[in-house]
Amino acid sequence: MDRLDNTIRPYAWGSTTAIPQLLGVEPTGEPQAEMWMGAHPGAPSRTDRGTLVDVIAAAPEKELGAAAVTKFGPSLPFLLKILAAGAPLSLQVHPNLEQAQEGYEEEERRGVPVDAPHRNYKDANHKPELICALTEFDGLCGFRDPRQAADLLDGLGVDSLKPYVDLLRAHPEDAALREVLTAVLTADPEEMARTVAEATAACARLGGAYTAYADLAHHYPGDPGVIAAMLLHHVRLQPGEALYLGAGIPHAYLNGLGVEIMANSDNVLRCGLTPKHVDVPELLHIVRFQPSDPGVLRPEASPDGEEVYETPIDEFRLSRYVLPEGGTTHDLTRATPQILLCTAGSVRTGEHELRPGQSVFVPAGEKAEVSGTGTLFRATVVA
């Protein structure tokens, strides 16, 4: 197996302290948003044998296993991250596989450069994802019942929000959500900025359920995404709890440290809370306008101590082991590729002693026994 040397991405929304604290190093003063573990070409993990992209490309079946290569092709189908949000991320949604393939092919046909700021589809893959909290973790996930959203907006006492309140109370659920999100994102920017300013003042005054939206407006003053966010559930995860985010579900991460895993894609359509491009027509094509429960996941324990976060897709499978002092050795050998990540304590696997934030890549079929005292996350595929 290979110890991984991983890149930390310095996105502006990143926490300046959370990842350094996990790693036990001094903060640099700069935001450290995500640490990537995997073979994404944008920032592949490094090993003594070269980048993980190069290692896998040299012998795909040896590294990934024949079943995984047959099912997903000759590349690692997931990307594992440590994510540290010190400020809210953009409100966003991801396409399903068919939408991603069609959108990518269409933009390729039109000759839109893949790095163009107005490009929607960077690749032809979908991007389901799972976030598991390491600390208390706040996020927005999925549409509220339109009547609940109407009550929340109405409670602000802002006259310019009344038409949205009426729409949410007068139409069928899917039509109500579609019409209001469309109206918010296509409103006159100056008028919307005034509405957001009034709503922000009301949120700050009222507190309680409005506190999270006041914080959003502090980071993104005048952004229509502040109003759009009030259509969504606000969720606070406790350590060990997780959210699964499938295609078409609008969401945003607000604050906290977590382990994130996703299909190996970079397809994002933004709904707001961002200075970046918002393609409203394409967004409306992708979003699933259905109220839904956020569906907080708690791991399901198996007799051997593995705690699995069940999801409906095969590109990734995330689980964890909480290893007590004096516990037994666990055999994690598997016929699919794995990344093992320590997030607490000290865990030994093979010749590697892993401390928090350290990880290894385990090729398919490679012997993988773990022992020690701490918490170990295991990322693999279903093949």
Q: How does DSSP assign 304-337, residue by residue?
A: TS-EEE--S-SS-EEEEEEE-TT---EE---SS-
Which residue blocks in 73-207 are alpha helix, DSSP H? 97-109, 146-154, 162-170, 173-186, 189-206
Q: How does DSSP assign 218-279, residue by residue?
A: HHSTT-THHHHHTTEEEEEEPTT-EEEE-TT--EEEEEEEEEEEEES----EEEESSSS---
**Look-up of token digits 């309140």:** 165
- Torsions phi, psi of 182, nearest 5? -60, -45
Q: Which residues are catalytic?
A: 270
3-state DSSP assignment of residue 372: strand
Angle formed by the axes of helices 162-170 and 146-154, to 10°? 160
In 3D space, the residue among 86, 52, 374 whose CA is nearest the CA of residue 215 turns out to be: 86
